[in-house]
Amino acid sequence: MSMTAIIGGTGLTDLDGLNIQREEVLETCWGAVSAPVLIGDFHGHEIVFLARHAQDHSLPPHKINYRANIQALELLGVDRIIAVNAVGGITEGMCGGVICIPDQIIDYTSNREHTFFSDDFEVTNHIDFTMPYDEKLRQSLIQGAIQVGLNIRQGGVYGCFNGPRLETAAEIRRMERDGCDLTGMTGMPEAALARELGLSYASICLVVNRAAGKADGEITIDGIRQVLVEGMQKVRQLIEASLVLIR
């Protein structure tokens, strides 16, 4: 039986509407998972939910144990992951409140444990990462958005930055030259780890602010929070609509 996991990011530390049937507090060979994993019914669909930053949002992006999180989901029988990411918007039109389903990633992170094969590597462990997001799962998200009338961006390049600080204006200009539409801090190595374990993976990105040098004035946490409240309601609606379409 196939099962879908939702990894919630900033603004989605719980999934409103999830009828929790059980919790799993897991410890993997890579260490502890970010939070208790919740298994339950979400509008008629059995799903697994994990709060990436912990339930109290105490884990910054560079401290998340991505390997433990992805390993735990696989151990629970998950075969596909919908990741929710709060991001900054770089290119024109990527403003606060926009939802994007990215199709590419550029990884700018460093000093993160980014593979399951660091200690026991074989030549067959080279994964094909040409298309970092699963296209079938991406299309389910896109079609779900269309069915409920959500205006989304159907593709884009996610640039993953280390954090926890926000980027400088010069760094954003560099990312834009590289082709990035979005900037975030949690997209990698999460996507690559899922690919290493053979799990389908796609992302719903909610733009919560214009990136450094693109915004009018200072980027504030209060401003980001305001966008998160309304935006995550749309994300939940999108997830519900998409689950019907996933096969």
Per the annotation, binding residues are 10, 52-53, 185-186, 209-211
Residues ≥6 apart with Cβ < 8 Å to 232: 11, 12, 84, 206
DSSP assigned state of 121? -
% helix / strand / coil in the chain, to the nearest 5?
30, 25, 45
Given a contact cutoff of 8 angstroms between Cβ atoms, the answer to whether 157 and 23 are in contact is no
DSSP assigned state of 148? T
Which class for 237: exposed (0-12), middle (13-18), buried (19 or more C-beta within 10 A)?
Answer: middle
Rounded to whole angstroms, how far apart are CA atoms 86 and 66? Answer: 17
Given a contact cutoff of 8 angstroms between Cβ atoms, the answer to whether 179 and 157 are in contact is yes
Indicate the SS3 state at residue 174: helix
Q: Residues annotated in the binding site for phosphate, as ranges? A: 10, 52-53, 186
Which class for 78: exposed (0-12), middle (13-18), buried (19 or more C-beta within 10 A)?
Answer: buried
Q: Residues annotated in the binding site for substrate, as ranges? A: 185, 209-211
Dihedral of alpha carbons 163, 168, 169, 175, sign: negative
